[in-house]
Amino acid sequence: MSTLANMNLMTLMEDFDTDTECRAELEELRWPDGVECPRCKSKSISTKKERQQYDCNSCRYQFSATSGTIFHDSHLPLPKWFAATYLMCESRKGISANQLKRTLKVSYKTAWYLCHRIRKAMEVASGKQLNGTVEVDETYIGGRYDKRRKRGPWEKQAVVGWKV
Note the pTM of the prediction, 2 decimals: 0.68
- What count of Cα atoms within 13 Å lies in the side-chain half-sphere of residue 158? 2
pLDDT, one tens digit per residue, over 102-142 is 999 999 999 999 999 998 888 766 667 777 777 766 655 55
Percent of the chain whose pLDDT exceeds 70: 77
Q: How many CB atoms lie within 10 A of CB 140?
A: 9
Closest CA to 135 of 99, 159, 107: 159
Radius of gyration of the chain (CA): 23
Question: pLDDT tier at 162 (50, 70, 90 boundaries)?
Answer: very low
Q: Where do the structural domains in the chain lie, given as residue ranges? A: 1-19+73-124, 31-69
Question: What angle, rounded to 10 degrees, do the helices at 78-90 and 108-122 form?
Answer: 60
